[in-house]
Structures are given as C-alpha cells and as structure tokens.
A and B are shown apart, each in its own frame.
Chain A
Amino acid sequence: MTEEGIIGKSVPRKEGRDKVTGVARYIDDMTMPGMLYGATVRSQIPRGIIKKISFDPHFDWAELVTVTAQDIPGKNCIALIGDDQPCLADGKVNHPEEPILLLAHADPHLLRKAVDAVSIEYEPLPAIFTIEDSERRSQIIWGDDNTLKTFLISKGDVDGVWAKAAYIVEGEYTTGAQEQLYIENNGAIAVFDREEGITVWGSLQCPYYVHKALMALCNLPAEKIRVVQAETGGAFGGKEDYPSIIAGHAALLAMKSGQPVKIVYDRLEDMTATTKRHPSRTRHRTAVSKDGKILGGEIDFTIDGGAYATLSSVVLSRGTIHAGGPYYWPNVRIRGKAVATNAPPHGAFRGFGAPQSLFAMERHMDHIAQVVGLSPVEIRRRNFLKPGQTTTTDQTIREEIDLGKLLDRALELSEYTAKIARFAQQNKVGPIKKGMGIAAFLHGAGFTGSGERYLASVVAVEGCADGGVRVLVSSTEFGQGTNTVLCQIAAEALGLPYHDVRIAQPDTNQVPNSGPTVASRTAMVVGSLVRSAALGIKQILIASGLLGSSYPPQEFRAACRAHIAAHGELRSFARYEAPEGVFWDDQKYRGEAYASFAWAIYVAEVAVDLSTYSATVEDFVALQEVGRVLHPVLAKGQIAGGVAQGIGFALYEKVVWQNGRMQNGQMTNYIMPTSADLPPIRVFFEEMGNVHGAYGAKGIGELPMDGPAPAIVNAIEDALGTRFDSVPLMPEDIFEAVSANGDR
C-alpha cells in the first residue's frame, strides 16, 4: 500500500477541470422545461403595518403566479435556530428588504414590470438603526427588550484586580457591516411533484439547513423534500442561512404553479437584501501590571443582529469566546450581547464574530503597549497564552503552541524591526508615511462547545462497481477545496491513488447529514469521519476474505468489485462521537470551547499618502499554525483569499446605510480589492506538531479573516501617530482625524 501517499501533496482540484473549461454547472446555468422565473416584492420601509396591497389594473395579472403569506402550506417561518423570521411578511414589516409577495412568469422582462406594478400601502412605525438606538429601547422591535441573545463569560475575580493595577486601560472599538460579495449571486430552482414532493437545486452551503426549513414551510415530511447543491460560486458564510429563504420562495411558487421556478438574484438585490457581517462595538477595560501583564479586565462585546435573530446567537457566541485573543487572562468578565435593529438580518461571514472582537482586542493591545511604555511586540510576548494555561472559558491549552516563536518568525519574515526603524526616519519628510502593524490571534475549529455533539454528523464511504470509492457527505464545495481534501483523506486511508476516489454531489436523497459547511469544521471534523468510514470499507473487505491487510490498489479494486457482485451495496458509515472527558457548560459558558485552535501572527506594512489620505497595504506576512497542511496550494489559497477579504474589511468595504437599507449595493460603489490594490500576500505555515482531525489538520478557512484589519490599523497608527479604532477606515476618516490632530 502507498503509505507516503497523498496527504500534503497539491493534487489537482477535483472539479477544477470543469471550472477552467467553463463546463461546471452553477444554478443560473440550469434550466428546466416549462420553467418560470420568480421575483420578490419587498418592503420599501423599515418598519410598519401593511395596510393594503394593490395591483395595477392595467396589468394582466391572470398571466402571473402570485404567492402571499396566505399561500404557505406550513409554518410561515424560516426554520433555523429560532423560528422568528417570517418567510413572507404577514401584516407587518420589520426591515426595508422584507419579502412580502412573490411573483412568477415565464418571461423575466415582463416579471420585472409586474414587480413594479405592485404597490403597498403602509402605516409606518418608528424604526431603530443602531446598537445605541436599540439599547435605548425607545422602540421595542424584538422580544421584550430588543435583546436577541446574551452571553456571560466569567473567570476569576475581576472586581479585585482594579486595586492592584498599575494601569487601567480603556477603549471602544467598532467594526462595520461587510458584504460577502461572492461573485455568483444567490439562486435556487424548485420543482414540485404531488408524489415526489419538492426538489430544490441551489447555490448553497448547507443542504440540510434548507431541507429543515422546507419541511416546516411546505408542511411536507423529510422524504418529500430533496435539496441538491449546484456548483456554488463562492459563499463565505453568505450562503449559510439565506438560501433557505430563496429555496422557500421558489418552492412556494412551484407548489402554487405546478411548474419549475427559478429565482436568481441580481447583484443589487443580492447585496441589499441578503446577509452581511454583523456591525459591532467592543468596550475594553483592562487592569495591567507595571511590567505590562494583564491582570484582568472587562470586555463588552455587542453586535447588531438586524431585524430577526437568525444566526446572531452563534455569531455572538464565537465573537464572545474569541474576545480575549491569544492571551492569558487570570481574571476576566466578557459580556456578549446581540441586539435587534430594523435592518435586514446580519448573518454568517467568514470568521463569524471573531474578526469583530479580535479587531478590538488587537487594537487594544497596542494601546496597552503605549500606556505601559512597551513595544507592540513586547506587550504581546508578555501576555501570550502558554501550554498549560487556561483561556477565558477555562479551557486548558494542551497544544504545544509557542506563540513567542511564531512571533519571532513573523517579525523576521516581515523585516519588522529594521522597517520600523527605517520608517521612523523616512516619515520625517514627505507626504508618504509608512508603518508596521502586528496582529496575534487564534481561531477555534469546529462548532463551539457541545455543538459537534448535537450535530452528530454522519458520513458514508462506498465502494463502487468499477472498483473505485465514493465519498458521501453533505459538506459542500464552494471554492475552499472540500471535494479535493476529503478525497485525499479517503485515498490516503485506503492506500489508493487520488483519482480512484470521487465525491458525490451533495443531494439530501443521496448523502447523509455530515453537518453544515461552516465553522472551519470540514477538514478537521468531517475529514476524520471520512477517514473512519474509509477504513470501514477496508475492514469489510478484509473481514470477507477478499483483501489482505496489505495490498496494491488493483487488489483493492478487484476486492471491491467482487464484494459488490456477491453482496450488492458496499457502504461504511461513521458518526461523530465526542471525545471523552471533554467538559463544556452551556449555561456558564465554561470549558472546552473548541477541539482545537489555529494560531497566527500577521504583519502588515502600510503606506499612507497624506496628499490623498489613502492607505495602501504594501506588504503582508501571514504566518500560521494550523496543524498539518493537507494540501499546500489549497491552504495557501485559503489564507491569501481570507487576507484579501480582511484588507477589504479594513480599508475599502463600507456599507452605506440609510433607514436600514444599503445604499451602495453595486460593485461600482461598494469597493472590494482588485488585483491592482493588494500587496504581495506572503503565506507561511509553521507546523508545531499539534495534530487534530484527519492526518493532523485543524481548521483553516476562517482564520485569515481575523488578523488583517487590526494589523493594518495598528500599522496606520504606527505611520501617523493618530489613533483609529474603527473599520472600515476610509480616506475621509484619516483626513478628518489627521486634520483634527494638527499638521504632521
């Protein structure tokens, strides 16, 4: 058997050939006989009572399929964690993009005119748009007090630290909404058949989330709902929960019309109506010793969840747990809170709350350094978590992580010390001011706390009649490399060549529920299960006497064929089982928050031009410890892509809001980084032997989103000597602050 196989090798992406030849089929590339197009009539106001829906009498409405809340066969909600979000507004609206009515027609041009021919009269109600408005409770728009969720993490004796502190450092930090901006817009096609039920194809991350939502909405049993993932053109969390809405809408139109219905959003609708990263506000108050050690502190982390609870509780959870960064806090109290506003619900976006709270932590560390009179390097070094110490949730670090060593290497790779000194000299003259900034951070892999135990993911691996092997999971590919990495793992486990292993299209009629494709869990959690299931196939073949314990691939193929000929289907399943002795208290938020953490030090070099006030990242070093790197090309691609999104989060991507609606929902006025904007993104991995998951992989996908924004803003402060505590940081913000600071 080929023991030094496939893990760690950059094999070709499984679906790569189809992607580079244009053969890959995305949702908008699919069509069905008799297919109608669906469209959504949305609220035009942030909050109010629907008084009347009128249809322009000059229009021939008999030609159109119309669906309102009254046509919903099941429960009018998008079932997710709670069921508070209606599928279609019924009597009242709570945000300015809320779906009210659905229309379908065979001609998309006529359909657009029909959308414009519907007018809705409202009795407007006062609306709230900011965290502060929501906290003031002048209007209660959700529950009893606008609070979607709270968490409290408490460790040690915080009240006792203030008297012992040499310094007390306070700060408030905010982050803005960010659009995922996958290049393929959201879309779904639904088909209804009285016998078979509903089938939906869609651009989506989580087939079983859609499956669950459709069961409740359409009032159909599990076996009458089938969800199939089409090739998906980017997601980044943006296709975690929203596809349940689009699939639901398409399904309702298909049920009413009896014809297939396609809904594909255009860019404007996708950007304005679907989810974004939660805006946040974090307040730090930290007690620090004379020599710069954190004695304890309070962190208040608040996020704006928008009009419905959707995923806010879990985003809040991750943000709250990550709020203390990679540092040792002997005493800490972290209060997390998600509040409601009259904006479209905010949702999942790579990092899932952690980029927000870590931005605050890493800016705050630089402020602590200044107050104490230490360098940003030294303050971090003195407070890094070490093996044997506990995190804010009292999780003991068992990994052999050496953050000091990681920091040293990052400083070397970025030539930090030399550049800091050189820039200090150069900045004395001319309009270009340069600076260096560091961010140190961690990201937990997999679902938080007991999440993986509740999910109880199942995967299957099957032997095929041609002697090959097929992986069956609901884990989806949307660019990260799911298909490739899971096939590598199965191939490695079975000692087969990579091309002998294929992966099934995620289809709830065909694949078991391996959980959602979120939380950087696929390689680590699902990968481990794929390995177990693959080994199960081998055991079956060995037990049946068809295969020896050591074999070349051709013997495996022959055994596989023989087994199928004799017994039919050859399948092996694996179900997640929580490791023993893992303690997590969901009430107190204490214990083992994550099975493993990825660790990173990022260094940004930034130039600010004081004639234009624009900041440009000129070099970026991303160094991380993510366990074993299963596929170097894919791993590097994940990191570079995440860093690019992080640079956008820091400097380019500003959602302009007015009355709860995004005003710049186009690629021409919401600016993401282009190939001309980005620095060299230099990606490095450090393996410290912290092996988890299949063949030692930890989570990787979200990590790179956490570090760029604080590293960049730290670098800008280094360049200008001006403090900035918010992202996105636009040239006008820099202009304003620098002007207020006097000429430099």
Chain B
Amino acid sequence: MSHSSERRGQGGGNNRAKSELSLTINGKPETVRVFPMERLLDVLRQELGLTGTKEGCGEGECGSCSVLMDGKLVNSCLIPALQAAGANLTTIEGVAEGPQLSALQAAFLECGGAQCGICTPGMILSASHLLNKKPEPTLGDIREVLAGNLCRCTGYMQIFEAVAEAARRKSSV
C-alpha cells in the first residue's frame, strides 16, 4: 500500500509542454512559462519567488495558500495555473501599502494574531476579503469567513480581535 503518489505537488506532470501564462500579481503584469496543470501555488512560490503564500496541506483544507483572484478568495493549491490566465491576483506581498503595514497587518501584529506566522498570510488575505465585502463585520462573520483558515497556535481569539480592530480602524479613517 503506497500513498506516495498522493503526495506533494501532484498534478505537475513534466511530460507535457509548458505554456505561456500572463496575469497580474499585486498590480504588476507577469508572464511565466508553466505546465498547464501546475498548481497556482507552485507558480507563485517557485516561478515568481513569492514565497509568502504557504503550503499547509495541499488539498484545500488549511487555507495557508489563500490568495485573492479577481477579488475572490481561493486556495492557490487547488487552482491549475492556466485557470489564472489573465487574472488579477493579490498575495501577501501585495497587502502592505508600500513600507506601511495595512490596517490588518498592523492589527495582527499588535493583537497577537500571528504566532508562528505560517497561517498568517492566508489568514490576512481571508480577513481582507471579508473587510472588502463587509467593512463592519460581526464576530459571527469573522468566525465564519476564517473557518477555512486553520491556525494551530492562537486558538483564534486574538485573530478575531485583530480583524475586529482593523475594521474599527478602517472605518474611523
């Protein structure tokens, strides 16, 4: 009984030709050559060097690889590269406003929303997706939207505080 074939980075397949993929990442147009079924996660991390997007499970469960694709929150480990053709992507590298942390990043830092930090990029993208849609979320909204992002360190309480705090700050600006 072998489970190795289910492991890591499936769907790459190097026996097919690479194709050209053009997309916009964090406002910058990029063109890369990729295998059509390569995971968007690998394109970001390996082809483009955007290692802020993390892999936790490789099967869409943990949310560490969350990115925004055309305004929608997706698990980049489940997106075949070519599905992202022409898309507009936001990764953690594009969240800060220049040298200035975004309201969410600052609140995560202050409220203890980041401990080991491995879920943090995905968590911040999910939270920013929520605040884009609903600038004044309830605790229930926050709990619901973050249920797709697993955190093993915090017990989530300080993450909830961070999102609520960021919402407060943004609405008071």
Listed in ascending order, the chain A residues whose CB lies under 8 Å from chain B are 10, 12-13, 15-26, 28-29, 39, 44, 107-110, 112, 115-116, 180-185, 231-236, 264-269, 272, 478-481, 633-634, 636-637, 640-645, 666-668, 672, 674-676, 678, 680-681, 683
How many B residues have CB within 8 A of the partner chain? 67
Pair A25/B51 contact, Cβ less than 8 Å: yes
Which one of A12, A15, A183 lies within 8 Å of B56 (CB-CB)?
A183
- Which of A19, A264, A268 has the largest count of B CB atoms less than 10 A from its CB? A19
Which residue of B is nearest A633, CB measured?
B112
Also in contact, A17 and B109, with CB within 8 A (given A22-B93, A675-B146, A678-B156): yes
Pair B52/A233 contact, Cβ less than 8 Å: no
CB-CB nearest 5 A-B residue pairs: A22-B52, A233-B118, A19-B117, A479-B116, A644-B155
Pair A234/B59 contact, Cβ less than 8 Å: no
Inter-chain contact total with CB atoms closer than 8 Å: 206
| B159 interface contact, C-beta 8 A | yes
Chain A residue numbers with a CB within 8 Å of B115 are 234, 479-481, 637, 641
Interface of B is mostly: loop
With A and B bound together, what is the CA distance between A185 and B118 in angstroms?
10
Which one of B54, B110, B150 lies within 8 Å of A12 (CB-CB)?
B110
Which one of B62, B117, B144, B154 lies within 8 Å of A640 (CB-CB)?
B154
| B85 interface contact, C-beta 8 A | no
Pair A12/B118 contact, Cβ less than 8 Å: no
Pair A21/B112 contact, Cβ less than 8 Å: no
Pair A22/B160 contact, Cβ less than 8 Å: no
What is the minimal beta-carbon distance from A14 to any residue of chain B, in angstroms? 11
What are 24 A-B residue pairs whose CB atoms fall within 8 Å in the complex?
A20-B114, A20-B120, A20-B124, A22-B53, A26-B51, A44-B1, A108-B8, A112-B7, A182-B116, A183-B64, A185-B56, A233-B117, A236-B152, A266-B8, A268-B3, A636-B157, A637-B115, A641-B153, A642-B155, A668-B61, A675-B146, A675-B147, A675-B151, A676-B147
Listed in ascending order, the chain B residues whose CB lies under 8 Å from chain A are 1-9, 12-14, 45, 50-59, 61-62, 64, 91-93, 95-96, 101, 105-106, 108-121, 124, 142-144, 146-160
What is the minimal beta-carbon distance from A129 to any residue of chain B, in angstroms? 16
Pair B154/A267 contact, Cβ less than 8 Å: no
Pair B143/A183 contact, Cβ less than 8 Å: no
Chain B residue numbers with a CB within 8 Å of A678 are 155-157
Which one of A16, A109, A267 lies within 8 Å of B14 (CB-CB)?
A109
Which one of B7, B113, B118 lies within 8 Å of A26 (CB-CB)?
B118
Which one of A15, A115, A267, A644 lies within 8 Å of B117 (CB-CB)?
A15
Which one of A39, A183, A680, A683 lies within 8 Å of B152 (CB-CB)?
A183
Which residue of B is nearest A182, CB measured?
B152
With A and B bound together, what is the CA distance between A478 and B108 in angstroms?
17
Chain A residue numbers with a CB within 8 Å of B54 are 26, 28, 183-184, 233
Also in contact, A641 and B152, with CB within 8 A (given A20-B105, A233-B117, A675-B146): yes
Also in contact, A637 and B2, with CB within 8 A (given A20-B101, A22-B91, A184-B54): no
Chain B residue numbers with a CB within 8 Å of A478 are 116
Also in contact, A183 and B118, with CB within 8 A (given A267-B56, A267-B58, A675-B149): yes
A sample of 15 more A-B contacts (CB under 8 A), given A19-B117, A667-B56, is A20-B101, A20-B106, A20-B117, A21-B95, A109-B9, A182-B116, A184-B118, A233-B118, A267-B58, A267-B59, A269-B7, A479-B115, A644-B152, A645-B152, A666-B59
What is the minimal beta-carbon distance from B164 to any residue of chain A, in angstroms? 13
Chain B residue numbers with a CB within 8 Å of A640 are 154-158
Which residue of B is nearest A45, CB measured?
B1
Chain B residue numbers with a CB within 8 Å of A28 are 51, 54-55
With A and B bound together, what is the CA distance between A25 and B50 in angstroms?
11
